[in-house]
């Protein structure tokens, strides 16, 4: 590292995040792009399919074909997006870890390093999403069901009853939103923990919950800053699009459908750009928070210095999962260290002192 590891303030973490991202902008952008590209491609295909079906002759067969086509695209897009998001998150954690330890990173090398444990990160991504959203969703559905049953049983359709139910739902929505954010802050370090420490999904979630204690408010500031940056980037990119409606010849009724299709595709393109640009900010900063918490709670700075001095053995490398080819090479960079150590040469076993003494006396004689 450029400076000895030490407990960092929020400003130091954000400053180091900006420096790492600026020095490796295209690499982190390439690592973060696949999920957004999958979403952009699938949504663009759905928009084009709906547009072509709208322009064609309307009949039952055409409507059925359009519905089946949209359903097929959705069924393809969901698993592709989940897989791409999981692998991208793991690759960002690997690249952020390597960059924070002043190691060189590449797009291909980052994905190669996590590819052999692909199913683990897909499972972690799904489990993390369930941990964040499943509980609040269940509570919301129960509340809606209870209010619906109560309204049906009491048959109160007056304005006062409707207003009371609406206020209750708003308060419940706000409370569930706070719970979702808090759970996100608890488990946001799960991917760095899984990648760096070679942990399974459930163990990584528990590890993240322990490490995040004492720094969740600082991580909340990070997410608020990231959301503000994403909003600013969206406004900057979307403003020129509104001027299309004022170009002479494009605002006519004959071209309104074409203009609407173009605007939808441009909107998804802007969403792709914003997601690809802002996602590395979270990935790098969360890795830095992860190491900072390990320094504060576990003395990782001392462990790292001892490891660099050769006083602590390196942890064993993860084994390749059977579903994926073992494409990792011996010279790939590891998350917490430099190039993988070469295989140690065989050394002769030391002889007992008596044997050495006898050989020495025999040679002297």
What are the pLDDT tens digits along the chain (365 aa)? Answer: 555 567 889 999 999 999 999 999 999 999 999 998 888 888 778 877 777 766 555 566 767 777 788 888 888 889 999 999 999 999 999 999 999 888 899 999 999 999 999 999 999 999 999 999 998 999 888 988 887 777 676 665 555 666 777 788 888 889 999 999 999 999 999 999 999 999 999 999 999 999 999 899 999 999 999 899 888 888 888 777 777 666 666 666 656 666 666 777 777 778 888 888 999 999 999 999 999 999 888 877 677 777 666 665 555 544 444 444 444 443 444 444 444 444 444 445 445 444 444 444 444 43
Tokens of 99: 């960059």
Question: What predicted TM-score, i.e. pTM, was given to this entire model?
Answer: 0.76
What's the CA gap between 267 and 69, in Å, rounded? 22
With both helix axes pointing from N to C terminus, report the angle between 60-100 and 190-197 in degrees, rounded to the nearest 10: 60
pLDDT value, residue 329 = 42
In a domain, 332, yes or no: no
What's the CA gap between 96 and 288, in Å, rounded? 8
In a domain, 330, yes or no: no
Sequence-ordered list of residues with C-beta below 8 angstroms from that of 181, at least 6 positions apart, any chain:
220, 223
Where are the alpha helices (H) located in 299-321, listed in sequence order? 300-308
pLDDT value, residue 361 = 44
pLDDT value, residue 365 = 38
Q: Tell me, what DSSP letter sits at residue 251?
A: S
In a domain, 170, yes or no: yes
pLDDT value, residue 318 = 47
Sequence-ordered list of residues with C-beta below 8 angstroms from that of 293, at least 6 positions apart, any chain:
189, 211, 212, 214, 215
Q: Which of 206, 172, 177, 175 is nearest to 189 (CA)?
A: 206
Q: Which of 79, 116, 76 is nearest to 94 (CA)?
A: 116
Task: Give the count of domains, the chain.
Answer: 1
In a domain, 314, yes or no: no
What's the CA gap between 231 and 225, in Å, rounded? 10
pLDDT value, residue 313 = 58
In a domain, 208, yes or no: yes
With both helix axes pointing from N to C terminus, report the angle between 118-154 and 107-115 in degrees, rounded to the nearest 10: 80
In a domain, 130, yes or no: yes
Segments forming the whole domain that contains residue 279: 10-300
What's the CA gap between 65 and 72, in Å, rounded? 10
pLDDT value, residue 346 = 44
pLDDT value, residue 354 = 46
Tokens of 326: 């073992």
| Coil, strand or helix at 339 | strand
């Amino acid at each position: 590292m450029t400076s000895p590891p030490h407990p960092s303030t929020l400003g130091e973490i954000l400053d180091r995040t900006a420096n790492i991202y600026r020095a490796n902008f295209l690499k982190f952008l390439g690592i973060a792009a696949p999920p957004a590209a999958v979403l952009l491609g699938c949504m663009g295909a759905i928009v084009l399919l709906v547009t072509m079906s709208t322009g064609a002759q309307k009949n039952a067969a055409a409507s059925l074909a359009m519905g089946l086509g949209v359903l097929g695209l959705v069924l393809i897009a969901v698993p592709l997006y989940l897989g791409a998001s999981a692998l991208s998150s793991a690759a960002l954690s690997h690249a952020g870890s390597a960059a924070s330890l002043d190691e060189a990173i590449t797009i291909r090398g980052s994905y190669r390093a996590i590819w052999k444990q692909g199913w683990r990160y897909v499972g972690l991504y799904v489990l993390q999403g369930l941990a964040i959203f499943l509980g609040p969703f269940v509570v919301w559905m129960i509340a809606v069901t209870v209010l619906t049953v109560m309204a049906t049983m009491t048959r109160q359709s007056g304005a006062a009853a409707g207003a009371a139910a609406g206020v209750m739902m708003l308060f419940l929505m706000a409370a569930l939103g706070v719970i979702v954010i808090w759970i996100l802050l608890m488990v946001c370090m799960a991917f760095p923990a899984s990648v760096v420490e070679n942990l399974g999904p459930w163990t990584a979630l528990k590890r993240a919950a322990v490490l995040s204690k004492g720094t969740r408010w600082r991580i909340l500031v990070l997410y608020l800053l990231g959301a503000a940056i994403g909003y600013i980037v969206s406004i900057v990119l979307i403003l020129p699009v509104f001027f299309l409606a004022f170009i002479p010849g494009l605002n006519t009724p004959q071209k309104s459908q074409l203009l609407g299709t173009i605007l939808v595709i441009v909107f998804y393109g802007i969403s792709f750009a914003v997601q690809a640009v802002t996602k590395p900010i979270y990935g790098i900063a969360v890795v830095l928070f992860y190491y900072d918490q390990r320094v504060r709670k576990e003395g990782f700075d001392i462990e790292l210095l001892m490891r660099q001095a050769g006083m602590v053995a390196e942890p064993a490398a993860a084994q390749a999962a059977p579903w994926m080819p073992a494409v990792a090479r011996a010279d790939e960079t590891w998350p917490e260290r430099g190039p993988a150590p070469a295989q140690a040469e065989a050394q002769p076993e030391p002889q007992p002192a008596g044997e050495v003494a006898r050989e020495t006396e025999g040679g002297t004689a």
